């Protein structure tokens, strides 16, 4: 736990694979006594670079660029091997510096002051915050070579000054999950509007099924619900502006979000705040509940290795995009945390770093990555999709066609503000929805103490 608020899992931590990720919690506990990281921990002398000779360069690579250092948080065995494959595919000479991913994230503030040439990080505000502080490099020129990335990904990689600072690698989306067999059995239709959703909830309730699985242990899972209702009610621009501290939390628009939320709270599982997302997922698996808004990592709760019925559940789980609330915004925004790369402000090997970033953004490297660890969905639309499961294909479609990609509340705003102010406020709201006016007034008051980028 090492003193952090819990945050929503990063795509690198939770994949689409069938591999159990129960170790997430245990892992967090283990870092409790984590040793202080001296700038970059264990040097894994991974790549001798040029597995195919320096001459054979991949897309964007520029001949003899020399060695590029690469700070990696792909520390687990499989992702580490996969990342190595992706780097090999770039054909550049890369010196990899792997650090345990929890430690990496915790120490990033310090690390970014003396980073490797290219570093692994997250899109959205978490990138923008460092871009705004001027500690990472502008890579707009690299983006000229990244034609296969959709606008949604480009927006998510853009700093407030309109320049790009980030190259997306892969992601997972948030959506409403359900069991296909339950919907078929009871004749439920996938709702596309808010009214449909409410009607469906009523039907489920009449059938003795709790409409929504709901968890909020750790304070982050319900941020997803807030994001989605806000994106649908007020649109992406307002959401980003609210996350950037530019809108008032006591605004009627925000109140409207909580009004809408209150109408579906009746359909929630009781006692939201104490339930872990895993327990809520189990309820969905058991068909005690009908729907569950969560990232696609929901399937990782079911482990075929320990439970023979799990595989059937995993294959049966499907998702749909959050229904439309205001026709003006439709279903144009989707929430999908993206992992990717940034460049140091002044890399030792500038040309090499840019070449590497361009190559990592190309389809060839994510293809090589997915060949080793198929649990992710590529950001690059030209990437091979034949190895994808049905859920992965659907994720790629959902996000690829989205006009806007939000990153999840704790990635879209100051992480401290997200956890300490908004997270606590949502817990207060869920504990007693009638207190919302006081709760929002407190958020607005506490927001004033933060400087947003």
Partner 1 sequence: MSTDIAEAAPPAGRRRRFSQLSRNDKLVLLVMVGVPAFLHIVLVWIPAILTGVLSFMEWDNVTPISSAEFVGFRNYWQIFTIFDNQLFPALFNNMVLIVWLFLCSAVGIGLAYLLDKNLRGTRFYQSTYYFPVVLSVAVVGFIWKSVMFGRETGLLNMIWPGEPIDFVGDQTKIFEIQFPFLDFPLGLSRNFAALLLAMAWRHIGYIMVLYLAGLKSFDPSLREAASIDGCTEWQTFRRVVFPGLKPINVVVAVITVIEALRAYDIVAALSEPRGTEVMGTLVTNSLTGEGGGRVGIGSAYGMVLFLLCIGFIIWYVVNNFREHES
When asked if residue 50 is in the footprint of partner 1 (CB under 8 A), the reply is no
Nearer to partner 1, 90 or 216 (CB): 216
On whether the CB atoms of residues 96 and 72 are closer than 8 A, the answer is yes
When asked if residue 1 is in the footprint of partner 1 (CB under 8 A), the reply is yes
The angle, 0 to 180 degrees and rounded to 10, between the axes of the packed helices 223-243 and 252-265 is: 170
Q: x/- string (CB under 8 A) for partner 1, residues 190-229?
A: --------------------------xxxx----------
Q: Which stretch binds partner 1 (CB under 8 A): 44-52, 195-203, 391-399, 419-427?
A: 419-427
Among 69, 105, 213, 365, which residue sits at the site for partner 1 (rule: CB under 8 A)? 105
When asked if residue 431 is in the footprint of partner 1 (CB under 8 A), the reply is yes
When asked if residue 109 is in the footprint of partner 1 (CB under 8 A), the reply is yes
Cβ atoms < 10 Å from Cβ of 63: 10
Distance CA 81, CA 352 (A): 22
Helices (H), 317-386: 350-361, 363-372
Nearer to partner 1, 144 or 271 (CB): 271
Nearer to partner 1, 65 or 213 (CB): 213
DSSP 129-195: HHHHTT-B---HHHHTT-TTS-HHHHHHTB-TTS-B--EEEEE--EEEEEEHHHHHHHT-----BHH
Among 273, 311, 385, 401, which residue sits at the site for partner 1 (rule: CB under 8 A)? 273
Nearer to partner 1, 90 or 105 (CB): 105
When asked if residue 248 is in the footprint of partner 1 (CB under 8 A), the reply is no
When asked if residue 35 is in the footprint of partner 1 (CB under 8 A), the reply is no
Q: Which stretch binds partner 1 (CB under 8 A): 141-149, 167-175, 291-299, 427-435?
A: 427-435
Q: Which residues pair with 319 in a beta bridge?
A: 177
Q: How far is the CB of 437 from partner 1 (least distance, A)?
A: 13
Distance CA 346, CA 50 (A): 24
Q: How far is the CB of 29 from partner 1 (least distance, A)?
A: 6
> 146-151: which pairs have CB atoms within 8 A and are 24 or more residues apart?
146/358, 146/361, 146/362, 146/380, 148/362, 148/363, 148/380, 148/381, 148/382, 149/361, 149/379, 149/380, 149/381, 150/381, 150/399, 150/400, 150/401, 150/402, 151/403
Q: Which 112-141 residues touch partner 1, going by CB under 8 A?
A: 112-113, 126, 130, 133, 135
When asked if residue 3 is in the footprint of partner 1 (CB under 8 A), the reply is yes
Q: How far is the CB of 4 from partner 1 (least distance, A)?
A: 4
Q: Which 326-385 residues touch partner 1, going by CB under 8 A?
A: none
Structure tokens at 114: 């003396």
Cβ atoms < 10 Å from Cβ of 132: 17
Site size toward partner 1, by CB under 8 A: 50
Q: How far is the CB of 358 from partner 1 (least distance, A)?
A: 27
Q: How far is the CB of 266 from partner 1 (least distance, A)?
A: 17
Q: Which stretch binds partner 1 (CB under 8 A): 224-232, 233-241, 277-285, 325-333?
A: 277-285
| CA-wise closest residue to 422 among 256, 237, 228, 242 | 242
Among 240, 283, 336, 364, which residue sits at the site for partner 1 (rule: CB under 8 A)? 283
Nearer to partner 1, 145 or 218 (CB): 218
| CA-wise closest residue to 284 among 179, 180, 364 | 179
| CA-wise closest residue to 108 among 46, 156, 37, 164 | 37
| CA-wise closest residue to 169 among 296, 406, 336, 390 | 336
Tell me which residues touch partner 1 (CB under 8 A).
1-7, 25, 29, 32, 105-106, 108-110, 112-113, 126, 130, 133, 135, 216-219, 270-275, 279, 282-283, 414-416, 418-420, 424, 427-428, 431-432, 442, 445-446, 448-449
């Amino acid at each position: 736990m090492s003193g952090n608020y819990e945050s929503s899992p990063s795509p690198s931590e939770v994949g689409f694979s069938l591999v159990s990720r129960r170790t997430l919690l245990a892992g967090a506990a283990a870092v409790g006594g984590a040793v202080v990281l001296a700038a970059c921990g264990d040097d894994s002398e991974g790549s001798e670079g040029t597995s195919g000779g320096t001459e054979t360069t991949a897309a964007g690579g520029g001949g003899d660029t020399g060695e590029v250092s690469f700070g990696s948080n792909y520390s687990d065995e499989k992702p580490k091997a996969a990342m190595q494959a992706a780097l090999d595919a770039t054909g550049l000479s890369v010196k990899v510096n792997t650090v345990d991913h929890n430690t990496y994230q915790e120490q990033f503030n310090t690390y970014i002051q003396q980073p490797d040439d290219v570093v692994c990080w997250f899109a959205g505000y978490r990138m923008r915050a460092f871009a705004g502080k001027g500690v990472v490099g502008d890579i707009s020129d690299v983006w000229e070579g990244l034609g296969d990335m959709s606008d949604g990904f480009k927006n998510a990689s853009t700093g407030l000054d309109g320049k790009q600072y980030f190259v997306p690698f892969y992601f997972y989306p948030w959506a409403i999950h359900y069991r296909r067999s339950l919907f078929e059995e009871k004749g439920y239709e996938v709702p596309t509007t808010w009214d449909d959703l409410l009607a469906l909830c009523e039907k489920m309730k009449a059938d003795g099924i709790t409409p929504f699985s709901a968890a909020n242990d750790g304070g982050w899972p319900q941020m997803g619900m807030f994001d989605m209702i806000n994106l649908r009610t007020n649109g992406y621009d307002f959401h980003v502006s609210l996350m950037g501290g530019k809108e008032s939390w006591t605004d009627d628009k925000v109140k409207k979000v909580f009004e809408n939320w209150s109408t579906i709270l009746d359909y929630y599982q009781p006692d939201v705040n104490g339930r872990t997302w895993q327990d809520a997922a189990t309820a969905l698996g058991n068909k005690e509940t009908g729907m569950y808004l969560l990232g696609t990592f929901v399937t990782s709760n079911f482990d075929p290795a320990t439970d023979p019925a799990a595989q059937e559940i995993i294959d049966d789980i499907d998702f749909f995009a959050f229904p439309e609330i205001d026709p003006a915004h439709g279903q144009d925004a989707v929430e999908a945390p993206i992992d990717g790369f940034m460049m140091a402000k002044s890399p030792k090997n500038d040309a090499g770093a840019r070449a590497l970033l361009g190559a990592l953004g190309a389809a060839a490297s994510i293809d090589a990555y997915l060949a080793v660890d198929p649990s992710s969905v590529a950001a690059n639309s030209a990437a091979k999709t034949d190895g994808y499961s049905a859920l992965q294909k659907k994720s790629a479609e959902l996000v690829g066609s989205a006009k806007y990609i939000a990153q999840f509340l704790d990635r879209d705003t100051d992480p401290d503000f997200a956890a300490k102010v908004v997270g606590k406020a949502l817990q207060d709201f869920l504990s007693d929805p009638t207190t919302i006016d006081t709760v929002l007034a407190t958020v607005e008051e506490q927001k004033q103490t933060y400087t947003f980028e």
